[in-house]
Structures are given as C-alpha cells and as structure tokens.
Chains A and B, each alone.
Chain A
Amino acid sequence: MNILKIAWKEVKHDFRDIRTLVFMIAFPIVLMLILGTALTGAFDGGDFDDNIALDDMTVLYENSNEPIQQPFDAFTKELEKSGIHFERLSKGTNGKDQVEENQADAYLSIDEDGAKLYLNDQNSIGGSVIQGSLASFVDQYNLITEISKAAPEKLDTVLTASTDHDYIKDQTLLPDQQPGSMDYYAIVMTTMIALYAAISAAHLITQERSRHTADRLMIAPIKKSEIFMGKLIGSIAINTVCIALVVAFSIIFFHANWGEHLGLVALILLTEIIMAISFGLGLSFLFKTPTAPMPVIMIVLQLAAFFGGAYFPIGDADGLLKLMTNISPLTLENDAMFQMIYANDLSLVIPAIAMNLGISLLFLVFSTFALSRREGL
C-alpha cells in the first residue's frame, strides 16, 4: 500500500515536470524526424520504390559436410531463381578475400560444426537476403536431421516437400520490409531514450534529500525498502508510459515498422528501462554529492548511444571500435530489435532481456546494500 502511494507520488512528480516530460517524449520524436528525413539517402531501403530489384549476387561456398550436400543443392537451385548464384569455391582461393575484394557478395563455409557466412557489407540488402535465406535453410535442415533421427521413413516426404519451398518469401524479405531511415531511427531513438531513464532515476533519491523530504519519509512509520520499491515502481511506470507514447507516435505519424512481435518489443524496452533506472539509482548511491553522478551518466549514455548506433549505424568495425560497439548495451538491444522485426529471428531477444535484467540486478543489489548501510535516505 505504502509502496503504491509512493509510486503514485513519483508519477505525479514526473507528469508535472513538463520539461523532463517534453525531453523524454519530444526529444526522440524530433530526432527521429530530423535524422530520419535527413539521412534517407543513406539507407538502401529508404525510398519505398519497388524498382529496387535485387542485383544478381554471387555466393562462394565450400562444403566439407557431405550429408548436407543434397539438401543444399536443392536450396541453391531454388535461390538460383531469385538471382543468387552459388559457386563452389575454387581451390587455392580464399573466400573471405574474395568477398573483401568485392569479387563475390558472400562466402559460405559449411563443415561439421555448422555454417559460417561472410558478407560483403557494401551490399547490405543483399547480405540480409542471403542471411535470411540461409537461416531459413538451416532451420529446415535441422528439422530434417531431427526427423531423420526420430522417424527416418518420413524423411523423404519432408525432403520433397522442402524443395518447393520459396526460401525468400518464407523470410518475408520484401523490399519494403527493409529498415528505412525512419524505421531505423524510430527504433534506435526509442532504445536510446529508454536509457535516458537513468537520468531521472539518479534523481529519485537525491532529490528527496535536496528537498529535505527524505527526512519526512524516514520518520514516517514505513520501511526504507518500501520507499525504495515505491520509487522504483513509480519511475518504471512513468518511463514505460513515455516510451510507449514515443513508440505509438512513431507508428502513427512516421509509420515506423515495429514488426509483428510487439509484445516482445515491449518486453525488451521494459527491461531496458529497468536496467537504465537501476543504473541511475546505483550511480546515485556511488557518489556522495547529488551532482556527481550526472556527468558520469551523461558520458556513459552518450558513448552507449554513439557506439550502439543511435546516431548512425555502425556497420563494420574492428579493433577498439568493435570492442566499444560490443560493450554498448544498445548494440545488443538494437540488434535484437532489428533481427526480430526484419528477420523474424528471435534468437537475440532472450540474451538482450537477460543482459538488461542482469545489469539491473547488479545495480539493484548494490543500491539496496548502500541504502541499508546509510543513515537516513
């Protein structure tokens, strides 16, 4: 009960703080609009012109896994129709080099352990197509092997059935399903602004202290944990509403594509908000002065946003840049989102959620510990 009262009070605070509200809602929308329209050209699928036909593409491949050869051939034949040509890698040439030199669009290496795909980034749509098709193929093949283990007699039917499969359609790889610049920025801005919840979270406790209301809360017959939980829940609620508004706005006015798994999108965003809030809270306990966490949070947020591709997509990277990109939590969030929305690939959803909750747990444990040690709030 007390938790809810405190949560409700937090929500009131935030709704009356017009500046923050505008920042949390208008800022990402305006950025989406600016970046989304200004950088249209930079995205291949930016204009929804149907004329973009896929150029013929060449995929070099190498296969040391014999049993897969037959279904693979069937697969390549199917793709041949869509203008994707598979060529066996000639001896003595390095597939990766070929791709790098733009001699081929992709290089596929299949062995006992699985398949590895090297893509040429200069043709990102093509890359997506190949990747998507291949993913679908691998799924199918795994299915086949499973069946062959369980019921070998049905294998034939599956195999024959599968040859009719249109791999590309199966992946819903329609041209207008590519992320346009507006789609791209709708997603990255939303994930970025979700991280900004850390700023308001850093104020949750310090503000009570600077307003001296912390004393009032502390002398009331309620537990510290209730105050803590109430504030946490209130903050999560208000930020969730903000993000939901941003998402709704981007859908209604920018027609941004959020894919079909809206529930999972919401789940990722929610856990990201929790992570951001925990991070902000944790930092506010780490520093003695109320102002000290802000620069740290801002730097971390900006770096995470930058390397996570919030301002422009960071495609190919290596060395330090790659390291930084990998460290940014936004990279994983955004990858998970794009994979889910455009490739129907849910494999990154759980890692993203797990990372969010893991980091949250870390900071929350720390905050609770710090709070219990402290006199007052």
Chain B
Amino acid sequence: MNILEIKHLTKKFGDFIAVDDMSLTVGEGEIFGFLGSNGAGKSTTINMISGLLRKNNGSIKMLGKETNKHPIFIKKHIGLVPQELAIYEDLTAYENVSFFAGLYGLRGEKLRSRTIEALEFVGLAEKHKSYPKSFSGGMKRRLNIACAIAHQPKLIIMDEPTVGIDPQSRKYILQSVQKLNEMGCTIIYTSHYMEEVEEICTKIAIIDHGKIIADGTKEQLKSLITDSKLIYIDVKDTDHVDIDAIKAIPGVANVTLAENTIQIHTELGANNLNQIISYFIENKIEIRTLDEKEPNLETVFLTLTGRTLRDA
C-alpha cells in the first residue's frame, strides 16, 4: 500500500521554480531517500508534504487522503525532523518532547510514558532533566528527533538529520532510523550524504532542480548508467594469464591486459570475485593488489546531472 502519493507537485517562489511537476509514490514500510544537492527542492517538497508550505499545483495524497482537505488527520500521522534544530533551549529535554507530543492530543500518563519512550529511544533518558544548552550537537540532533516521534507517527520525515555532527552520533541516528523502520514506520530521509542514503534507504529518488531525475532501488539506479563493474588485478607477471579462461568465468564480460594489470569487466551482482581470485590461485599467479570499481550513487548522480552532490 502506498502511504504517500504525489502527483505533478509544483511550487514556485516568484519566478523560481523550486519543485517542478514532481510525481512519486512512497510505499508503506519503506525508507525512502531523497538524494540531491542543496537547493534541489528536497526541503520544499518535504515542507509541502507536511503542510508547512502551500503547493502551487498538483496533489499530495497521504494514506489515501488529500493532505489539504484533511490537514488535521494527516498531521497526526506525520512526524517531521526539521533540518534546523527546532527545540526550545530554555525547556528541559523532557519538557521539549512532552510539549510537542502534547500538541498531538496526548495527555496524562500516556503523555508521560510516550515522552520517556521517545527519550529512551534516542538515548537521552538519563538527561531528561537537562537543558539543551548543555547538550552537544549530536545530542541536540537526537532530541530534535525525539520531539518528532513521541506521538508515534506513521510517516517520519527526516530532513538532513545528520548535518554537522560527529561520526558516533551519526551512526546512532542511522541506526535509530532503521530501528524506527523495523517498528513499522515509513521514513522519508533526505540527505546530500550519498553514503547514508546508500546505506539505509530501500528506495531512492534523485532530485535535481526540483525534478525527480531517477528513482528506484539503489541497484536500479546504478544499472541506469552501467551494468558492469571493473576489477583491477595487479599481478607479478602476466605471462601465464589466460585471458580466455578468465572470460569463461560466469558474469565476466571482457578482459583486457595493460602491463601488469588485468582489467576485468564483470556484471554487477554476478558475485564472481571468488571464482576470479581462485583462478589466479589455482594457476599460481601472484596477486599484488586487487581493486574493485563499482558505481555508487555518487557516480550515478554525477553522471546524470553532471555535478557532484556537494557542489552547487
């Protein structure tokens, strides 16, 4: 079932078209990644989904209902982790989470237990009486997440939740995203860190200039540009290398020799590295180095848009 259906969504700021005729669907239980450089229109799209911005055109349906016709219903099921920290520095961690959860109609004992749960989830339960002023950047980010999940939304939208934090906190956050997903949440995750998206997302949309350039699983995206990967094997001497024998290994498309390096084109997902290596071992050819060049999302993005994720 689709939790979110977007059709021909358009948003203009004056002459500038931030989101341009965008259509996409997010299925229930997915971790859907929005991959794009800064200013590609990710946040604008998210803000329209969560109802912060009005759309100029198109339709957004969540759980089968038009968002602008049932705003209160839709809002109850969305949790937004905004790009910027959105917490009150002069309220304690507990008060922050409890205040926002309270706006979702939770009260009394239920409010208290959900607040504690959310804080525990992000690992801040012990700090619940502290003020965010004393928190590190990563802890603030985690509190930012806790504020968005205490009301147990069906769809959690995370807008660059890992910007500017230490690797440990980042890892923690990525793990929590996956944990939330396992608990049944659908997640929309935006980032311009390709590795994060590649690591956790089950489906990815590449967004540029307000348009979806390509979407699908990461394998589908990679296969857009190529079906093969390159394996470079440096050997001591190439005299005894039988190119045809290597070519006979399933999945290998082409083999070329250049000085001491053997370049092997092999199909993506052929899983034949073991067979290739065992060929060299069986024939007692000494491998000096082995290098594998597989296309990643960065390459996909670069190839499709002509720019890297970080510039522009």
Contact = CB atoms under 8 A, between A and B. Distances in A.
B45 to A, nearest CB: 14
B52 A5 contact: no
Most buried by A among B53, B75, B82, B86: B86
Given A221-B103, A222-B103, A216 B72 contact: no
B147 interface: yes
A5 B50 contact: no
Given A5-B102, A216-B100, A220-B104, A16 B50 contact: no
Contacts of A213: 86-88
B164 to A, nearest CB: 14
A217 interface: yes
Contacts of B188: none
A276 to B, nearest CB: 22
Contacts of A220: 75, 100, 103-104
A261 interface: no
Contacts of B73: 221
A2 B85 CA distance: 23
A215 to B, nearest CB: 5
Contacts of A219: 50-52, 75, 78, 80
A218 interface: yes
Interface residues of A, number: 21
Contact of B147 (A13, A216, A218): A216
B292 interface: no
Interface string B8-46: 000000000000000000000000000000000000000
Interface in A1-31: 1-2, 5, 9, 12-13, 16-17
Contacts, number: 67
Interface in B37-90: 47, 50-54, 71-73, 75-76, 78, 80, 82, 84-90
A375 interface: yes
B285 interface: no
Contacts of B71: 221
A13 B72 contact: no
Contacts of B304: none
Given A12-B90, A12-B95, A16-B90, A217 B53 contact: no
A288 interface: no
A20 to B, nearest CB: 11
Nearest to B74: A221
A212 B82 contact: yes
B193 interface: no
A106 to B, nearest CB: 57
Contacts of B276: none
A273 to B, nearest CB: 22
Nearest to A376: B52
Contacts of B99: 5, 9
25 contacts: A5-B99, A5-B102, A5-B103, A9-B88, A12-B90, A13-B88, A13-B91, A16-B90, A211-B87, A213-B86, A215-B80, A215-B86, A216-B80, A216-B82, A216-B147, A219-B51, A219-B80, A220-B100, A220-B104, A221-B72, A221-B76, A221-B103, A221-B104, A222-B103, A375-B52
The 6 A-B pairs with the shortest beta carbon distances in the complex, nearest first, are A220-B103, A221-B75, A212-B86, A212-B84, A16-B90, A221-B72
Given A17-B90, A218-B52, 10 more contacts: A2-B102, A9-B88, A9-B99, A13-B88, A212-B82, A213-B87, A217-B103, A218-B51, A221-B71, A221-B104
